[in-house]
Amino acid sequence: MSLRRPFVLLAPVCLIGVGLGLHDWPVDGGRAGAFVGRALSDYGLTLNVQGPASLTPLPLPRLTFERVRITGEGGGPPLVDEARLGIDLDPLSLIAGRAAAGGLHLAGGVLSGHAADWSGVLARLAARVRSGETGHPTRLIVSGGRTGDGTARDIDLDVSWPSWSASAEGSARLTWRDVPTRITVAHVRPNDVVLGRRSPVTGDVTWPKGSLAVDGSMETAVSGAPWPVLAGQMRIETRSLPESLAWFGWHVPLSPLAGSFSLTGLFETADRSVSWTRLRVGVGQNVLEGAGAVVFSPGEAPRLSVQATLAAETLDLAPLAEDAARLLGRDPVPLALAPVTQGDLDLRLSAAAGQVGSVHVQDLAASVLVRDAAVEIAVNRARIEDGLIKGRVTLASGADPDETEMRLQGSLDRVDLGRLLGGIGGGARWLVGPAQGQFNVEARARDTAALLAHLGGRAALTMAGGGIAGLDLVDVVHRNGAVAPGSLARRNGWTAIDRAAVTLRFTEGLGEIVESGLVGPGVGASVQGHVSLPERRLDLKGDLALRSPADPSRGLLFEVSGPWDALVPRTAAHVEVSDPAAGAGEAGAPETFGPPDLQPSTAAPQGLPVNARAYAP
């Protein structure tokens, strides 16, 4: 008989055998579950089969259970429920009559999302490694799973730890808190971690608005610590810090004020803390360097405590100015502190230079302190327009969590008002000269509008030297309140100032000018009136008197009133000084800013142009 015939007959036999081996053969679920349960019990797992089972002999023997429940060895809540479980069996172990799981495949089902429920399984795995056991499942695949609390769904997980390799790696795709997320971990040596040796690790987490990457090492934490000890390089980037933190379930103080954020640096973890010995932080367009730490309090929703010391060459402070402008706008903004104080913050900040619009800041040193229901922001030093500014604002909640108490105090020393006001307003510099002053105000309210309406305190400003650019008040008095044609446009006028001062006392948002005056070589002035913060309105009355020995009897009464953005200055009448010695700015009384003894003359009232806004000093 030809040798070709047996091979011709063997081919279909092999095909039939392979087909039968790839076929799922029904088996008794109870007996199959009991057989596999002995293998899972080595890892502290108890298998409960609730549906049919089948055996697929090829390519490797696999038992499949349609509906299973897996619990810990001591019972308790299910770790896996209503899942389809496939177990790859080791052929050599089958020959010896034992079940050894080579790979686990879970399809669908509900997984426990509580780390404490899996602690017993992890402890059993660690015990096996310490005892010298080398056998372990080489692969774990989960598809279409979800957690019982609904936090995660569409879980696709693939963890590989080949028997010939000391390293394990894994990747996962899932929808966590309604956000598509991808996680990868590689180069981990599980045996080294269990035995307390340091293991390399790389990992990253990506989501639509950011990413987190770690490249370093890990080792077992001390007894009782919730996390392993990690060290290495960390990089975090997010286009929206508030949204990313809310997605993680964390709350960092004042994070609603931040937008795009990045962090890169050398880090190390300890018991519930992460510290950076060298740190580079990006907030918007700003880049700062320094050191910092984050501490997590115990509990399901830990409270974060952040400490950092950061420095920058330059800072763009425009976003903070925009937030301040929004708070001072006409639309009321709630002042409840709870949304921005759900964590602790101790930040020390310094910068060589900064800018708010066209206002330049040098040598800035500031601090931010946030505690439960309290915020303190201090500008310890800031050089602006050749002068020095210091300030502190304290916000605190009382019995009513929606109500906030504000205390604001500060000082300025030799700040050039002309350049400062020109930078803030972007317009002409009418008032020029070094100024110094102090302010101390406070209020309690639920929103910004009510805060301004209840503001109380005191503010004082003095200026020695300088003048009013673009307007000659002596000439205005001689013209009975009229301004020389074209002088405002040409800005060729000048009123020299020897000393000027104003003191305001605020009560319920209304500022009363309790002391004011101006003394120059040729003119003296005093002002009385009110400033309404809630109505954003100014109502002033004042007088001008010449100090020239040649014509000491001439003076002028004037008024300035209206909304801040539409002030209307006008003269009330031309006056004669009845007692020249009592006129403003006479010798022997240069520091007295009370009104002189003025009498109205018969001259007709004169109106000042609206654009002469610097007429009132």
* 334, 447 contact by CB (below 8 A): yes
- Structure tokens of 404? 């906030």
602 within a domain of the structure (yes/no): yes
DSSP state of 298: S
Is 341 domain-assigned? no
Question: How many of the other CB atoms lie within 10 Å of CB of 310?
Answer: 20
Whole-number pLDDT of residue 586: 35
Residues 6 or more apart whose Cβ sits within 8 Å of residue 291: 275, 276, 277, 278, 279, 308, 309
Which parts of 428-469 are beta strand (E)?
431-432, 434-445, 456-464, 467-469
For residue 63, being part of any structural domain is answered with: yes
Q: Please write the tens of the pLDDT for every residue from 308-343.
A: 999 999 988 877 777 777 777 778 888 888 888 888
Q: Is residue 205 pLDDT above 90, yes or no? A: yes
Structure tokens belonging to residue 159: 């963890």
The whole-number pLDDT of residue 351 equals: 94
Q: Where is 588: in which H helix or E strand?
A: none
- Answer positive or negative: Cα dihedral of 146, 151, 155, 157: negative
pLDDT for the residue 127: 84
- pLDDT surpassing 60 at residue 35: yes
Q: Above pLDDT 90, what percent of the chain?
A: 35
Answer for the pair 210, 259: CB distance below 8 angstroms, yes or no: no
pLDDT at 133 over 80: no
Q: Return all residues near 436 (Cβ < 8 A) that are at least 6 apart.
A: 387, 411, 412, 413, 414, 415, 461, 462, 463
Q: In this structure, what are the phi and psi dihedrals at residue 475, rounded to the nearest 5 degrees?
A: -65, -35
pLDDT at 87: 86
**Containing structural domain, residue 103:** 22-163
Q: Kind of pairing, strands 110-111 and 139-147?
A: parallel
Work out the pLDDT band at 423, boundaries 50, 70, 90: low
Residue pair 304/252 in contact by the 8 Å Cβ criterion: yes
Q: Return the minimum-mean-pLDDT range out of 1-15, 135-149, 376-390, 399-413.
A: 1-15
- Take residue 309 and report the two structure tokens written for it: 């010391």
Residue 168 lies in a domain: no
pLDDT of residue 427: 46
At residue 95, does pLDDT exceed 60? Answer: no
Q: Write down which residue in 163, 192, 226 finishes a domain.
A: 163
Model confidence at 218, pLDDT cuts 50, 70, 90, reads very high
Q: Taking residues 67-76, report their average pLDDT.
A: 84
Burial (0-12, 13-18, 19+ Cβ within 10 Å), 550? exposed
Residues with Cβ within 8 Å of residue 223, at least 6 apart in sequence: none
Between 608 and 542, where is the model more confident?
542
Give ∠ CA 159-160-161 in degrees, rounded to 5. 130
Ranked by mean pLDDT, which of 89-103, 241-255, 290-304, 405-419 comes out on top? 405-419
Residue 257 lies in a domain: no
Q: What is the pTM of this model?
A: 0.77
Residue 426 pLDDT? 46
Burial class (CB in 10 A: 0-12, 13-18, 19+), 116: exposed
Specify the amino acid at residue 410: G
CA 26 to chain centre: 59
Task: Kindly state whether residue 569 falls inside one of the protein's structural domains.
Answer: yes
Q: What is the mean pLDDT of the chain?
A: 80
- Tell me the three state secondary structure of residue 181: strand
Amino acid found at 458:
R
Query: Cα(104)–Cα(82) distance, rounded to whole angstroms?
Result: 15
Task: Find the mean pLDDT for residues 532-560.
Answer: 81
Q: What is the pLDDT of residue 307?
A: 94
Q: Count other Cβ atoms within 10 Å, centred on residue 36.
A: 22
Q: What is the pLDDT, as a whole number, of residue 489?
A: 65
Of 133, 163, 193, the residue at which a domain comes to its end is 163
Instruction: Specify the range with the lowest mean pLDDT, choosing from 111-120, 216-225, 601-610.
Output: 601-610
Q: For residue 451, which phi and psi values (nearest 5 degrees)?
A: -65, -45
pLDDT in tens, 267-318: 999 888 999 999 999 988 889 999 999 998 876 667 889 999 999 999 888 7
| Per-residue confidence (pLDDT) for residue 19, from 0 to 100 | 46
Q: Is residue 497 part of a domain?
A: yes
Domain boundary (139, 163, 187) is at 163
Average pLDDT (427-445) is 85
**Between residues 125 and 134, which one has the greater pLDDT?**
125
Q: Give tens-digit pLDDT for 557-573.
A: 888 888 877 777 777 65
598's torsion region: left (phi>0), alpha (psi -120 to 50) or beta?
beta
| 349 vs 14: which has the higher pLDDT | 349
Distance of CA 610 to CAs 437, 527, 571, Å? Answer: 29, 19, 12
β-bridge mates for residue 168, sequence order: 188
Q: How far apart are CA 117 and CA 77, in angstroms?
A: 7
What mean pLDDT do residues 369-376 have? 91
pLDDT at residue 579, as a whole number = 43
Residue 179: its pLDDT value, please? 93
H or E element: which one contains 558? strand 554-563
User: How many whole angstroms separate alpha carbon 443 and alpha carbon 463?
Assistant: 28
pLDDT exceeds 90 at position 601: no
Considering its fold, how many domains does the chain have in total?
2
Query: Taking 70 as the threshold, does the pLDDT of residue 617 lie above it?
Result: no
The C-alpha atoms of residue 379 and residue 389 are separated, in whole angstroms, by: 8
Q: Give the neighbor-by-neighbor strand order of the sheet with 467-469.
A: 431-432, 467-469, 494-496
Q: How far apart are CA 334 and CA 313, in angstroms?
A: 34
Name the β-bridge partners of 102.
none
